[in-house]
Amino acid sequence: MSGEDQELPVFTTAADMRNWVRKQKKSGRKVALVPTMGYLHDAHLSLVKAALEKADVVVASIYVNPTQFAAHEDFDVYPRNADEDRAKLKAVGAHAVFEPESLYVQVPGASEGANVVGRETHHPDSHETYVTVERLQKPLCGGSRPHFFRGVCTVVTKLFHICEPDVAVFGRKDYQQFRVISRMVRDLDFPIEVVGVPIGREADGLAMSSRNARLSPESREKALCLSRGLAWAEKAAAEGSVSDSAAVQAHVRGLIEEAGGKVDYVELLHAINLGPVTDLSSQPVLLALAVHFPAKDVGTVRLIDNTVLNPDKE
């Protein structure tokens, strides 16, 4: 049978997934994991390609993680299409898919202040243990989504224990997530190399996102203000025409508001430790954006994007 005719194995239980990975490792193969929430686009596939360069076999996980959504957020309308996802993963050369039905069932009271969605139950199988990266989770997305990184870290920890990867690949579009996971791996001694892949963009500059599918046509057009704002800042920093972070922040916020975006944050922080910065010339500086636009279904779509100014100083 040619490689193309072979079925892509899809595992739905932790035990089956772990058995498969252990067999691969016993045969001396290096394993990479690409965690996703599905509805895959080309940027997700670029993560799989990066993983294939780093390891012999690549597992992609697809799990819309309820613990990282608050009750008012878009868990119920988050786009899903498992069949297409599997076809795309097979075409790009992934070796297995992990599609757990449920990884975390919260006990009542365990989601203090976070109002997390998902099944809260007294069932004996429910969970109450969380992983928290205390400081790095606080700025940026942690401000408006205080539950978010605890949910990400807890479920990524479970994925790491189940898939036992040598390499884990994340996208730099979710820049804070990349830094938080890297810190968690270091702090908790996971024997895993964390790889950060550059942001994948549409031809007109919009960062690829599963959530783009929820934008109305007008919002899709307006959302270009994010990449335009970042490009303006990159140019200004490279030319040295602005040296003060507050000036960049004010200008980019103005561009976004003028285009009709509702700003959650426009922030400049040190690109490694996510601490405050004022001077732009001597250090790598993350310019990170989170902006709401009207959705075509219900409510708004929250998009994030970022760039690192002075990346050579990293």
Interface residue list for ligand AMP (CB under 6 A): 36-37, 43-44, 47, 170-171, 173-174, 197, 199-200, 207-210
| Minimum CB distance to ligand AMP smaller for 85 or for 267 | 85
| Minimum CB distance to ligand AMP smaller for 197 or for 285 | 197
Quote the tokens at residue 225.
């203000």
When CB distances to ligand AMP are compared, the closest residue is: 171
Is 44 annotated in the active site? yes
Least Cβ distance, residue 42 to ligand AMP (angstroms) = 8
Least Cβ distance, residue 268 to ligand AMP (angstroms) = 20
Least Cβ distance, residue 169 to ligand AMP (angstroms) = 7
Quote the tokens at residue 181.
């996971």
CA distances from 310 to 27, 72, 139, 226 (A): 43, 37, 21, 19
Least Cβ distance, residue 184 to ligand AMP (angstroms) = 14
| Minimum CB distance to ligand AMP smaller for 177 or for 219 | 177
Choosing from 44, 95, 270, 292, the catalytic residue is 44
| Minimum CB distance to ligand AMP smaller for 14 or for 37 | 37
Instruction: Determine the Cα–Cα distance for residues 51 and 59; give it in Å rounded to an integer.
Output: 9
Least Cβ distance, residue 7 to ligand AMP (angstroms) = 23
**Residue type at 53 in one-letter notation:** E
| Minimum CB distance to ligand AMP smaller for 36 or for 245 | 36
Q: Residue 123: how many CB atoms within 10 A of its CB? A: 9
| Minimum CB distance to ligand AMP smaller for 182 or for 210 | 210
Instruction: Determine the Cα–Cα distance for residues 199 and 304; give it in Å rounded to an integer.
Output: 11
Least Cβ distance, residue 256 to ligand AMP (angstroms) = 18
Interacting residues of 147 by C-beta distance below 8 A, sequence separation 6+: 67, 68, 69, 70, 111, 113, 114, 115, 116
Residue among 127, 128, 184 at smallest CA distance from 152: 184
Q: Which residues are catalytic?
A: 44
